[in-house]
Amino acid sequence: MALVIRNADIVNADSRTRGDIFVENETITRIGADLDAPPNAEVIDATGKLVFPGFIDPHVHIYLPFMATFAKDTHETASIAALIGGTTTYIEMCCPNRNDDALEGYQLWKSKAEGNSACDYTFHMSVTKFEKCTEGQLREIVADGIASFKIFLAYKNFFGVDDGEMYETLTLARTLGVITTAHCENAELIARLQQKLLAEGRTGPEWHEPSRPESVEAEGTGRFAAFVENTGAAGYVVHLSCQPALNAALYAKSRGVRIWVESVLPHLLLDKTYAERPGVEGMKHVMSPPLRDRSGQKLMWDALEAGFIDTVGTDHCPFDTSQKLLGKDAFTQIPNGIPGIEERVNLLYTYGVKRGTIGLNRFVEAASTTAAKLFGLFPRKGTIAVGSDADLVIYDPSYRGKVSAATQHINCDYSGFEGMEIEGRPSVVTVRGKVQVRDGQFVGERGRGRLLKREPAYF
């Protein structure tokens, strides 16, 4: 059945136009004024709404064995929450650890998503060791449509790679034309600082940030950039949290290094005082890199608006209260991560666009289009154009609400953004032409999401 969106105020990364959108067989086939709708077409009137391309979250964790436990979501819960919040595609970090086999890990992560996600998805493939069989396995995974790698410079002895392994990974990525995303913190410094703080009896979540100060992240970012430069690869710094790290990435960019920067919602909206809250309240706000001093936040927003920061993801990583309490005696045992897949678009719209911090087109670019372009999904995703998938967010800017764990759809008993005001939310969300959400309710088809095959492009 055809779908026609009438009176659409269409906002892309580079334009704002009015018209009708005509969808057939999952694809946008026409955009124009007063398009004829066949008698059996579903017609949605978008008067008073904004119409955005489906949003893309380039950094989520759903299935994640980590820090002696497992992240709480399934693809069913995470994808429904994502869609209700306007995200129609996510890129999950496929994270086998150093003791796991990469190819078996990839098959396992794929099996968790297949038939369970209600929105479209793909993976960044983590390389957590580089040994004899790794190259062949990664070639197979890339041939299966995975065009991005992930490395961790942090999490020593678990996900973390050493410099030699980083070099091998980036060299192979360069050969295969794959972009490599990276968590940039110095693992050795973190381990030393953690030991020192614990030995001094500093065990609470407020010591998480001092164990990974900004200089630790800046060092990791600068080192990653130097390895990207000297291998000729392409790099993407995930969840960058502070000015010294941004300076390191931008200095590399100024030298012609192919490097891009992601920010995530917690670093834009929360600060380290949240992790300093007593007891489990503080633990709920432990993630890495840590929440920083609020004084640095304006710079992050300005950098986002200026395009020095390229994308906004979530690093969605839900551990519930009982899991956070694994770290009640030592902050080093608190499972790292804050959920956010459901709130990203609404909070970015409210605290970015409505507060005048970023423009409407920039919002679309940072939360959708750039991720599509960087990760081989454009123009299938990330834009409203003839020939693109009909992933559409008909957005109601007059909605008013608050973030609350009591009403969220992820499988977690708290929200890191509890009580924050929201000014706007998706009214209708479509994935490849099918209505999946109406006014905060999932009304679609579970398990309809597809694994998006991507082609390498960074030669």
Give whichever of 94 and 345 is closer to Zn ion, judged by the CB atom: 94
Question: In whole angstroms, how close is the CB of 66 to Zn ion at the nearest point?
Answer: 10
Residue nearest to ligand URP (CB): 336
Is residue 150 involved in binding Zn ion (CB under 5 A)?
Answer: no
Q: Distance between alpha carbon 262 and the CA centroid of its chain, in Å?
A: 8
Question: In whole angstroms, how close is the CB of 201 to ligand URP at the nearest point?
Answer: 24
Is residue 315 involved in binding Zn ion (CB under 5 A)?
Answer: yes
Give me the residues that bind ligand URP (CB under 6 A), please. Answer: 61, 183, 287-288, 315, 317, 336-337
Question: In whole angstroms, how close is the CB of 286 to ligand URP at the nearest point?
Answer: 7
Task: Compute, in degrees rounded to 10, the torsion defined by CA atoms 224, 225, 230, 233.
Answer: 90
Give whichever of 124 and 380 is closer to ligand URP, judged by the CB atom: 124
C-alpha separations of 445 from 194, 426, 430, 431, 436 in Å: 46, 18, 11, 10, 7
Question: In whole angstroms, how close is the CB of 366 to ligand URP at the nearest point?
Answer: 19
For 172-183, b where at least 16 C-beta lie within 10 A, e where not — what string?
bbbebbbbbbbb
List 70's β-bridge partners, or say none. Answer: 65
Give whichever of 124 and 454 is closer to ligand URP, judged by the CB atom: 124
Residue nearest to Zn ion (CB): 183
CB atoms within 10 A of CB 160: 23
Token pair belonging to 16: 């704002």
Question: In whole angstroms, how close is the CB of 45 to ligand URP at the nearest point?
Answer: 41
DSSP string, 74-119: -HHHHHHHHHHTTEEEEEEEE---TTS-HHHHHHHHHHHHTTT-SS
Select from 384, 417, 372, 406 the least CA-distant residue to 122: 372
Question: In whole angstroms, how close is the CB of 160 to Zn ion at the nearest point?
Answer: 10
Give whichever of 155 and 363 is closer to Zn ion, judged by the CB atom: 155
Tell me, residue by residue from 75 to 114, as one string, x for binding to Zn ion by CB under 5 A and - for no binding.
Answer: ----------------------------------------
Token pair belonging to 198: 């614990």
Give whichever of 290 and 433 is closer to Zn ion, judged by the CB atom: 290
Give whichever of 49 and 61 is closer to Zn ion, judged by the CB atom: 61
Question: In whole angstroms, how close is the CB of 174 to Zn ion at the nearest point?
Answer: 22
Residue 337 site contact among Zn ion, ligand URP, none (CB < 5 to 8 Å, cut-off depends on kind): ligand URP
Binding-residue total with Zn ion (CB under 5 A): 2
| Residues with Cβ within 8 Å of residue 123, at least 6 apart in sequence | 91, 92, 93, 94, 106, 109, 110, 146
Give whichever of 197 and 286 is closer to ligand URP, judged by the CB atom: 286
Residue 117 site contact among ligand URP, Zn ion, none (CB < 5 to 8 Å, cut-off depends on kind): none
Token pair belonging to 216: 């630790």
What residue has token string 């993976």? Answer: 123
Question: In whole angstroms, how close is the CB of 316 to ligand URP at the nearest point?
Answer: 9
How buried is 326 (Cβ within 10 angstroms: 0-12 exposed, 13-18 middle, 19+ buried)?
Answer: middle
* Interior angle at CA 175, CA 173 and CA 176, nearest 5: 65
Token pair belonging to 211: 């164990």
List the interface residues with Zn ion, window 376-415 (CB under 5 A): none
Give whichever of 314 and 346 is closer to Zn ion, judged by the CB atom: 314
List the interface residues with Zn ion, window 183-202 (CB under 5 A): 183
Contact stretch for Zn ion (CB under 5 A) within 202-210, 246-254, 312-320, 386-394:
312-320
Give whichever of 61 and 284 is closer to ligand URP, judged by the CB atom: 61
C-alpha–C-alpha distance, residues 428 and 110, integer Å: 28
Is residue 432 involved in binding Zn ion (CB under 5 A)?
Answer: no
Question: In whole angstroms, how close is the CB of 275 to Zn ion at the nearest point?
Answer: 16
Token pair belonging to 189: 């410094």
Which residues bind to Zn ion, rule: CB under 5 A? Answer: 183, 315
